[in-house]
Amino acid sequence: MKRTITHLADGRELIYFDRRDDADRSAIDRRALDPRPVASELRYDPLTEEWIAIAGHRQTRTFLPPTDECPLCPSSDTRASEIPSYDYDVVVFENRFPSFSGNFGTYGDVGGLSEVRPGMGRCEVVCFTSEHSSSFSRLSNAQVALVMEAWADRTAELSGIEGVEQVFPFENRGEEIGITLAHPHGQIYAYPYVTPRTKLQLGAASRYTGGNLFADVLAAERSAGTRVVASNELWTAFVPAAARWPFEVHVYPHRQVPDLAALSEEERAAFAPLYTSVLRALDALFGVAMPYISAWHQAPVRYGRDLAYLHLELFSIRRAPGKLKFLAGSESAMGAFVNDVLPEEAARMLRSRIDH
Ligand SMILES: [Zn+2]
């Protein structure tokens, strides 16, 4: 793998991850770009003990441009995109409209009981492939392995930035989920705080009196078997017993590691065929591309690293052909989920569509 760091016209970093050691990455960004916006501000909600990022500048971001104006396709003789090169394998660059960045404005007292601080951190875009009309489910195993190398590299690098507390690689897929660009890509958020869901999970893990809570959940699901969707020697994918979403799959490595950077080469290689087969099963459920969110849960940078357990939580808001689950009153207002699909039935449906 060859890793090349370059910079875009407005100073943002762009990193090529190439399979070939002789890839030429000397192309320069010739666009005239506006200066980068300042970071959002963080406001603390004393009632929920959560930080909320307020990012006014994000309203102007690119929204579903036509294919021939895709900013994530390689550049060409006639058009300059976000990626200066005319081709690429995997590329990562700083988001032009980030929720978190190192580019601070000034933040004052806003009154109320809310503490305010700059949204330090970093937001990156990961292009999974240069092929605009592809999808993660159709990537080759070698391509997924390269994406995983990029994720691992970014996790290690972003964890080292001052103030970063958690690194979160994820993919939003489908217009129903609110994606603004169709090109296969994901994002990485390097948060200046530990996210609410991770805090909850680590709190539960610290109060658990057995072994490692996540490891015990995995072992129990493997033993029960009724909700297992697919597995191989190093990974298992299962629908959690108390799934919140109509179709929700958690993917765990069999070995407890804190983050993607800690996976072995064998574990990365074994993830690719398992995960893409689960994604294809999702798409096969109703014969339409399923909208989904795929979220890597990694240990925080500074605490809970022995309690945490790297895993991926994948879920779709589609519950039937033509029917989406929206977060309505109970979920949105109270955080209390009601799921209309029996997890064992969801697992059975997915399992029957796994191709081997
Ligand atoms: Zn594209």
Q: How does pLDDT run across 238-274, given as a tens digit for each residue? A: 999 999 999 999 999 999 999 999 999 999 999 999 9
* Range from 45-54, 99-108, 236-245, 257-266 carrying the lowest mean pLDDT: 99-108
3-state SS of 153-172? HHHHHHHCCCCCCEEEEEEE
At residue 60, the pLDDT reads: 56
Ligand 1 center from residue 76 Cα (angstroms) = 12
Q: Looking at residues 161-172, what average pLDDT do you find?
A: 96
Percent of the chain with pLDDT over 70: 96
Binned at pLDDT 50, 70 and 90, residue 104 comes out as: confident
Ligand 1 center from residue 54 Cα (angstroms) = 29
Domain ranges across the chain: 2-193, 197-351
Answer whether CATH 2.40.50.180 is correct for domain 197-351.
no
**Residues β-bridged to residue 260:** none
Q: Looking at residues 344-351, what average pLDDT do you find?
A: 97
Binned at pLDDT 50, 70 and 90, residue 318 comes out as: confident
Positive or negative, the CA dihedral 343, 345, 351, 354 is negative
d(CA 156, CA 322): 41
pLDDT digits (tens, 9 = 90+) for 118-151: 888 999 999 999 999 999 999 999 999 999 999 9
User: pTM higher than 0.85 for the full model?
Assistant: yes
Q: Is the pLDDT of residue 99 over 90?
A: no
At residue 40, the pLDDT reads: 84
Binned at pLDDT 50, 70 and 90, residue 102 comes out as: confident
Token pair, residue 267, equals 């574990």
Ligand 1 center from residue 129 Cα (angstroms) = 9
Binned at pLDDT 50, 70 and 90, residue 113 comes out as: confident
Q: Is the pLDDT of residue 294 over 60?
A: yes
Q: Which residues are part of the catalytic machinery?
A: 185
Ligand 1 center from residue 66 Cα (angstroms) = 9
Ligand 1 center from residue 74 Cα (angstroms) = 8
Token pair, residue 202, equals 């680590």
Ligand 1 center from residue 62 Cα (angstroms) = 13
Domain 2-193, CATH number (from 3.20.20.80, 3.30.428.10, 3.40.1350.10, 3.40.50.150): 3.30.428.10
* Range from 100-104, 152-156, 168-172 carrying the lowest mean pLDDT: 100-104
Ligand 1 center from residue 278 Cα (angstroms) = 24
Ligand 1 center from residue 130 Cα (angstroms) = 7
Q: Look at residues 70, 91, 65, 89 and name the one whose alpha carbon lies nearest to residue 80.
A: 70
**Same topology between domain 2-193 and domain 197-351:** yes
pLDDT digits (tens, 9 = 90+) for 33-43: 888 888 788 99
Ligand 1 center from residue 92 Cα (angstroms) = 14
Helix (H, G, I), strand (E, B) or coil at 68: helix
Q: Looking at residues 205-234, what average pLDDT do you find?
A: 97
At residue 68, the pLDDT reads: 76
Q: Is the pLDDT of residue 58 over 70?
A: no
Binned at pLDDT 50, 70 and 90, residue 61 comes out as: low
Ligand 1 center from residue 68 Cα (angstroms) = 8
Q: How many CA atoms lie within 13 A of 312 on its CB side?
A: 25
Q: Let me know how many helices (H) and strands (E) the chain has, helices first.
A: 6, 16
Question: How far, rounded to the nearest angstrom, does the alpha carbon of residue 63 sit from its chain's CA centroid?
Answer: 19
Percent of the chain with pLDDT over 90: 74
Rounded to the nearest integer, the mean pLDDT of the chain is 92
Q: Is the pLDDT of residue 59 over 60?
A: no
